[in-house]
């Protein structure tokens, strides 16, 4: 929890004077047009930001291209890149409260989480990849005595990172930090809902001394600015986090242009399995509730399908409903708030349409289902059947669907009965069952007796239609480097 009082956050919000231009070639740069940034707190327009057409995107890619082809960044020693990224991390830490305020205002995340979770993650991520930059080794395989083979990792070129609004800075940092550490140059396109924090981050990159063109930010609508990046011949790599629908667009853009490589982190409908022998059923229930309501359920990893053994459903569900009813929903700038509004009117409407679908298809509403403005009370449905839309489709809101099972095999079948494969969890005190079940689950991350735990050192990403490629960990370098073989005949 931040040490700043509610009134102070309100006063700071009143004095808001954010950066609003694109950041191109090391400087702020006006756009072809402008677009409003509307805060979901109260529906007020808090800024107008530059909005790109294809010409702005072309300037940003041009700057990144020149910086890659002829600029200092890819040619610096890894230790020099490390030093620059560490300076950047220190500046983000210096301005952490200001960045947290921007995140909270633009997308509605509770300020205590914007500061305590999001900014902590961003600073940690920048430092982790800074430190990793000069600790990579290349290979020299043993060949015959008359030759020398070198296998080196070369930076992959210009990376366009296109990210969503739910963790606007963390999703960006997971891509920017390893790409820059590897020697790539970057154009970031934040979501239309959350450009302000990204623009502030870019100004800090310039202050930290990153050379012009190494890191650029363009705002703009996905169908225009995102598409222009996807189709641009000067972009070598797309690193995307967002919906499956837009992920498919990027594959098409790449196929229709220069076959740039496309890395996709997409959605999920993650199963959270509670077996009756869970070491602590109350902890399992509390974590299930925390997991689905955290960040108003706007989480790709949200444990949105609770699969619970029929013998313990009553106890687990009563506890989840009690927590749902107690959750502090309110102004995200109040440090006591645990859940803010949904990000936008469009998202609010979308989530409410699922609440309607749940009712219409015969699930039982146990909590929530309504709220004022863009708020929605934590919502719980039980008696959910596997074929219902609320059991199959990603809602991306604070809506839990509870399904029951009779044995572990049925739980695994239900868990895997989805097009997604981002994350899953199992709660059991039986070590063998935990291993057996976790091996059977097709998901990029499986948590045992916990949820959302992790560390920069472990990879994150999906299987099936949740995407491919991994953010975080040293494996992220695979996305931003090409292997080169040099064969020397001695
Ligand atoms: P979205 O796919 O609509 O938008 C994501 C980004 O793509 C935005 O920057 C947007 O401007 C851009 N975009 C939109 N249309 C485009 C187009 N036609 N061409 C090019 N770019 C376009 O997703 P969203 O609503 O912002 O975010 C929610 C989705 O993101 C959910 O499906 C969620 O699961 C997913 N997500 C995944 C992860 C993960 O790591 N797997 C993390 C967070 C969110």
Chunked in runs of 10, what are the mean pLDDT values of the chain (490 residues)? 90 97 98 97 97 97 98 98 98 98 98 98 98 98 97 98 98 98 98 98 98 98 98 98 98 98 98 98 98 98 98 98 98 98 97 98 98 96 98 98 98 98 98 98 98 98 98 98 98
- Do 322 and 225 lie in one domain? The reply is no
- Do 259 and 275 lie in one domain? The reply is no
Domain count for the chain: 2
Q: Does 475 fall in a domain?
A: yes
For residues 309 and 404, the answer to whether their CB atoms sit within 8 Å is yes
Q: Range of 292's domain?
A: 271-455
Residue closest via CA to ligand 1's atom 26 equals 164
Of all atoms in ligand 1, which is nearest to the CA of residue 192? Answer: 11
Cα 282 to ligand 1 centroid, rounded to whole Å = 34
Cα 453 to ligand 1 centroid, rounded to whole Å = 23
Helix (H) or strand (E) holding 306, with range, is strand 305-309
Q: Does 460 fall in a domain?
A: no
Q: Say what the pLDDT of residue 264 is.
A: 98
For residues 454 and 460, the answer to whether their CB atoms sit within 8 Å is yes
Q: Is the CB of 165 under 6 A from ligand 1?
A: yes
| pTM score | 0.98
Q: Is the CB of 115 under 6 A from ligand 1?
A: no
CA 147 – CA 131 distance, rounded (Å): 33
Q: Is the CB of 396 under 6 A from ligand 1?
A: yes
Q: Say what the pLDDT of residue 1 is.
A: 55
- Do 328 and 229 lie in one domain? The reply is no
- Do 303 and 402 lie in one domain? The reply is yes
Q: Say what the pLDDT of residue 340 is.
A: 98
Q: Is 321 helix (H, G, I), strand (E, B) or coil?
A: helix
Q: Does 462 fall in a domain?
A: no
- Do 202 and 277 lie in one domain? The reply is no
Q: Is the CB of 71 under 6 A from ligand 1?
A: no
For residues 174 and 472, the answer to whether their CB atoms sit within 8 Å is yes
Q: Is the CB of 465 under 6 A from ligand 1?
A: no
Q: Is the CB of 81 under 6 A from ligand 1?
A: no
Q: Is the CB of 230 under 6 A from ligand 1?
A: yes
- Do 175 and 41 lie in one domain? The reply is yes
Q: Does 461 fall in a domain?
A: no
Q: Does 53 fall in a domain?
A: yes
Of all atoms in ligand 1, which is nearest to the CA of residue 247? Answer: 2
Token pair recorded at residue 415:
């868990």
- Do 485 and 401 lie in one domain? The reply is no
- Do 365 and 236 lie in one domain? The reply is no
- Do 75 and 216 lie in one domain? The reply is yes
CATH no. for residue 142? 3.40.605.10
* Residues carrying an active site annotation: 265, 300
Q: Does 236 fall in a domain?
A: yes
- Do 253 and 360 lie in one domain? The reply is no
Cα 143 to ligand 1 centroid, rounded to whole Å = 46
- Do 409 and 313 lie in one domain? The reply is yes
Q: Does 333 fall in a domain?
A: yes
CATH no. for residue 439? 3.40.309.10
Pocket test for ligand 1, best of 223, 242, 298, 342 (most atoms within 8 A of CB): 242
Pocket test for ligand 1, best of 164, 421, 452 (most atoms within 8 A of CB): 164
Q: Does 246 fall in a domain?
A: yes
- Do 438 and 404 lie in one domain? The reply is yes
Of all atoms in ligand 1, which is nearest to the CA of residue 300? Answer: 34
Residue partners of 398: CB distance under 8 A and separation at least 6: 292, 293, 296, 297, 339, 351, 368, 376, 377, 378, 379
Q: Which of 398, 383, 364, 37 is nearest to 191 (CA)?
A: 37
């Amino acid at each position: 929890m931040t040490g700043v009082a509610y009134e102070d956050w309100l006063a700071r919000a009143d004095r808001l004077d954010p950066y609003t231009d694109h950041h191109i070639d090391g400087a702020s740069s006006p756009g072809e047009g402008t677009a409003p940034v509307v805060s979901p707190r109260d529906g007020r327009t808090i800024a107008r930001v530059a909005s790109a057409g294809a010409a702005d995107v072309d300037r940003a890619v041009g700057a990144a291209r020149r910086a890659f082809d002829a600029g200092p960044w890819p040619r610096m020693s890894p230790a020099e890149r490390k030093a620059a990224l560490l300076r950047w991390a220190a500046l983000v830490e210096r301005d952490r409260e200001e960045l947290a305020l921007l995140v909270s205002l633009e997308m509605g995340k509770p300020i205590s989480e914007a500061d305590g979770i999001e900014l902590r993650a961003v600073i940690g991520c920048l430092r982790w990849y800074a430190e990793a930059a000069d600790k990579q080794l290349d290979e020299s395989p043993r060949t015959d005595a008359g030759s020398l083979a070198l296998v080196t990792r070369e930076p992959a070129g210009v990376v366009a990172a296109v990210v969503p609004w739910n963790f606007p800075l963390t999703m960006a940092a997971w891509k920017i930090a390893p790409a820059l550490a590897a020697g790539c140059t970057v154009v970031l396109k934040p979501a239309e809902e959350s450009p302000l924090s990204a623009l502030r981050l870019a100004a800090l990159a310039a202050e930290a001394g990153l050379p012009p063109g190494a890191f650029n930010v363009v705002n703009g609508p996905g169908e225009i600015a995102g598409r222009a990046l996807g189709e641009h011949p000067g972009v070598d790599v797309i690193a995307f986090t967002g919906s499956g629908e837009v992920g498919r667009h990027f594959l098409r853009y790449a196929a229709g242009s220069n076959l740039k490589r496309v890395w996709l982190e997409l959605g999920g409908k993650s199963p959270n399995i509670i077996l009756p022998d869970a070491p602590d059923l109350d902890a399992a229930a509390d974590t299930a509730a925390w997991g689905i309501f955290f960040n108003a359920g706007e989480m790709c990893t949200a444990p949105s399908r609770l699969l619970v053994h029929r013998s313990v459903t009553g106890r687990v569900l009563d506890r989840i409903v009690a927590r749902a009813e107690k959750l502090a929903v309110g102004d995200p700038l109040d440090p006591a708030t645990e859940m803010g509004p949904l990000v936008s009117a469009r998202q609010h409407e979308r989530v409410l349409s699922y609440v309607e679908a749940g009712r219409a298809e015969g699930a039982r509403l146990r909590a929530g289902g309504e709220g004022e403005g863009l708020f929605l009370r934590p919502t719980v449905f039980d008696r959910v059947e596997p074929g219902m839309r609320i059991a199959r489709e990603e809602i991306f809101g604070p809506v839990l669907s509870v399904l029951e099972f009779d044995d572990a095999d049925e739980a695994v079948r239900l868990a895997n009965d989805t097009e997604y494969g981002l994350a899953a969890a199992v709660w059991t005190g039986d070590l063998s069952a935990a291993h057996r079940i976790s091996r059977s689950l097709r998901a990029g991350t499986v948590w045992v007796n916990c949820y959302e735990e992790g560390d920069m050192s472990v990879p994150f990403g999906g299987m099936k239609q949740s995407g491919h490629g991994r953010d975080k960990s040293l494996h992220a370098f695979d996305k931003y480097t090409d292997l080169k073989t040099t064969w020397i005949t001695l």
